[in-house]
Amino acid sequence: MDTYQLLEAAFLGLIEGLTEFIPVSSTGHLLLAGHFLGFESTGKTFEVLIQLGAVLAILSVYFARLWNIATALPSDPGARRFVIGILIAFLPAAIIGVMLHGFIKEVLFESPMLVCITLIVGGIALLIIDRMTLEQRHTEATEYPLSLCLKIGLCQCLAMIPGVSRSGATIGGALLMGCDKRSAAEFSFFLAMPTMAGAFAYDLLKNIDRLSADDAAIIGIGFVAAFISGVFVVRGLLNFVTRHGFAPFAWWRIVVGTLGIAGLMLVG
């Protein structure tokens, strides 16, 4: 391990935190950046494990609200329904993630061209959804019906394909099912916590015997960078999407995907 590797880890961690909660695919950005930088992590664990830094960013910003929900569980049916809804939304991705873990890490994560294509296709889809006139029947993330939570959870499964974007799939699906932009983004925040924590725990369990002290140092640097940059995104994203919608992220996806394809064609 050298200084250059640590700087790469910090840079990639910064990318993770900046892109995890916006619908542009943090994993897709990490895989493309890692490919062009020549960055290789043991078992592609770095790209998964540093997501815990982004999870802690949500916890730090939403701690008071989460604490209120937790303390209300024994007496408030609404709080219990919300927690059950998040767990229901989490289950489809958890099941499919465990079943297809090897295929995802060994095949999909090794396909930068696939990432570029899904970035572009997802960007076009997001542009179309953002411009549609949709009925807004659900405006409070904590009051989504359980059936809606399950449908959003099924949409999240699309993000098993790198480049699709976990937040993009959940937010886009929620918008199509009658949620407003702000609550859709907020529900995606809440759903990220069990989803990313689960991915962290499972990937660590599968690869812990392969990780060295150098791997731990690199992951730690990326973790801290992801946490710091994630805090800034979580604090500002809801107001941004309320004012500007998701079109800026859609165009970003298309530009990055197009540049990625050009780069792969030029340098491989």
Residue 179 pairs in a beta bridge with: 138
Q: Compute the average pLDDT of residues 116-136.
A: 94
- The predicted-structure confidence for 186-239, as pLDDT tens digits, reads as follows 999 999 999 989 998 998 888 888 888 888 889 999 999 999 999 999 888 888
Three-class SS of residue 76? coil
CB of 154 closer than 8 Å to CB of 160: no
- Report in angstroms the alpha-carbon separations of 266 from 81, 157, 259: 52, 32, 10
Can you give the residue ranges of every domain in the chain? 3-267
Identify the pLDDT of residue 42: 77
Identify the pLDDT of residue 177: 96
Please name the residue ranges forming H helices in 73-145: 77-99, 101-106, 112-131
Identify the pLDDT of residue 268: 73
Identify the pLDDT of residue 51: 87
- Report in angstroms the alpha-carbon separations of 226 from 13, 134, 212: 4, 34, 21
- The predicted-structure confidence for 141-188, as pLDDT tens digits, reads as follows 999 999 999 999 999 999 999 999 999 999 999 999 999 999 999 999
Q: Higher-confidence residue: 268 or 97?
A: 97
Distance CA(168)–CA(21), nearest Å, equals 9
- The predicted-structure confidence for 35-76, as pLDDT tens digits, reads as follows 999 888 877 788 888 988 988 998 898 899 999 999 999 999
Banded pLDDT at 1 (limits 50, 70, 90): low
Distance CA(135)–CA(78), nearest Å, equals 24
Phi, psi of 179 (to 5 degrees): -95, 150
